Structure 1
Amino acid sequence: MYDRILVPTDGSDQPAVVRHALNVAELADATVHALYVVDEKALDYQPSESGRKETREARREEGQAAVGDIAEAAEERGLEAVTAIEEGSPAETVVDHADEVDAEMIVMGTRGRSGVDRYVLGSVTEQVVRRSEVPVLTVNLERQRRAVRDDETAVERAKEVLADEGHEVAEVPEQPYRESNTWIVRAVTADGDTFNVHLDAASGESRVAKIRSE
């Protein structure tokens, strides 16, 4: 099916992408190739030559950590992993690297970091899809972030929802529970009010109900 699967990373935390790539690799007993591209255009060049070197080295160090994490996750599943750091235009480099290692599939997320010293992985993914001659499996990271899969995630999401409404959570007095496709988290705020936060498990959409006031 697939002997070599390429997983590009921009250094951001994307467990869903890695998980999907490893699931496919495990089924096919494929080698996982983890790639980090140092985008020269996104580097924050300094006036001095030494400053420029330090910036590039920082990106390469970040890349080593990122591909190392993917390789470690692969090896924990008994899969062979190969890592690489390349420099150049991200989309072009990903496609070229896939060709160099004879990758038969590329797995990427549809959203990543952005900023003056980061390329946006989502836009790179779009370019790779257009240019690649091998299948590209894309993982919708925004949807993955919204999904509430366990009670720990439910608590964190409930805190975020209440914070958006101006409430600081002091405690979660009982374990969240799930009714059908809805998580319910009871939270007590710093000012003594108690809320039930209802979270859709699939979409992460929320509804807040105030059940007690001090």
Structure 2
Amino acid sequence: MMYKKILVPTDGSEFAEKAQRHALFLAKVSGAEIVAVSVTENNFVNGLPLDDEVYQLNQILNERSEENLKEFDKLNEDNIKITHVIREGSPAKVILEVAKEENVDLIVMGSSGKSGFDRFIMGSVADKVVNSAKCAVLVVH
């Protein structure tokens, strides 16, 4: 079974980078292209008034997403086609939406994001994706 399109969520964590390296290898051997998605999680702004601070915070989060995707590009030594997608929302939900829209064959993602409490919250992102995805999911630890 060869892959044509691989979805790789990235959050800038070491787990995401390990997943990116696996995805690049799989893309190289299968001739697949990669869709890299970075999710800007801004649920906490929903209740806040839309003022300059909230706008600036959103800008910072979007810039961080762009940085995460640029870091992924730096790992791409074989010039594999990587399409960047930046979306706002809940990570698991966005990953599943993009997987469906892009008709991917495989999702390669890290087992968890950051550390501590974030890891407890983010670890559930991989669980949700594994349990709900319509395609194969490779979770890299």
What is the TM-score normalised by the length of structure 2?
0.87
Displacement of 1:48: 5.7
- Hey, what does 2:58 align to over in structure 1? 56
**What CA deviation, in whole Å up to 9, does each residue of 1:55-88 have, x standing for no partner?**
11111000001112213322x2121111010011
Take 1:33 and 1:71, find their aligned partners in 2: how far apart are those partners?
A: 11
- Hey, what does 2:128 align to over in structure 1? 127
> Larger strand proportion, structure 1 or 2?
1
Indicate yes or no: 2:92 matched with 1:91: yes
SS at match of 2:108: strand
Do the aligned residues in 1 keep the contact of 2:37 with 2:86 (CA within 8 Å)? yes
Displacement of 1:122: 1.9
- Hey, what does 1:23 align to over in structure 2? 25
Considering only aligned residues, what root-mean-square deviation do their CA atoms show, in Å? 2.4
C-alpha change, 1:10 and 1:121, in structure 2 (3 Å) is farther
C-alpha change, 1:61 and 1:117, in structure 2 (3 Å) is farther
More off after superposition, 23-32 vs 10-19 = 10-19
SS at match of 2:79: coil
More off after superposition, 111-120 vs 79-88 = 111-120
Take 2:64 and 2:17, find their aligned partners in 1: how far apart are those partners?
A: 17
Take 1:25 and 1:84, find their aligned partners in 2: how far apart are those partners?
A: 18
Take 2:38 and 2:8, find their aligned partners in 1: how far apart are those partners?
A: 9
Report percent identity of matched pairs: 33
- Hey, what does 2:81 align to over in structure 1? 80
In the TM superposition, what are the counterparts of 1:1-214 in structure 2 within 5 Å? 1-13=2-14, 14-42=16-44, 49-74=51-76, 76-113=77-114, 120-140=121-141
C-alpha change, 1:43 and 1:100, in structure 2 (3 Å) is same
Pair member with larger Rg: 1
> Larger helix proportion, structure 1 or 2?
2
Take 1:85 and 1:53, find their aligned partners in 2: how far apart are those partners?
A: 17
Take 1:49 and 1:118, find their aligned partners in 2: how far apart are those partners?
A: 30
Q: Give the gaps of 5 or more residues in structure 2.
A: none
C-alpha change, 1:41 and 1:30, in structure 2 (3 Å) is same
What is the letter of the counterpart of residue 124 of structure 2?
S
Q: Which has the higher contact order (CA 8 A, sep 6+)?
A: 2
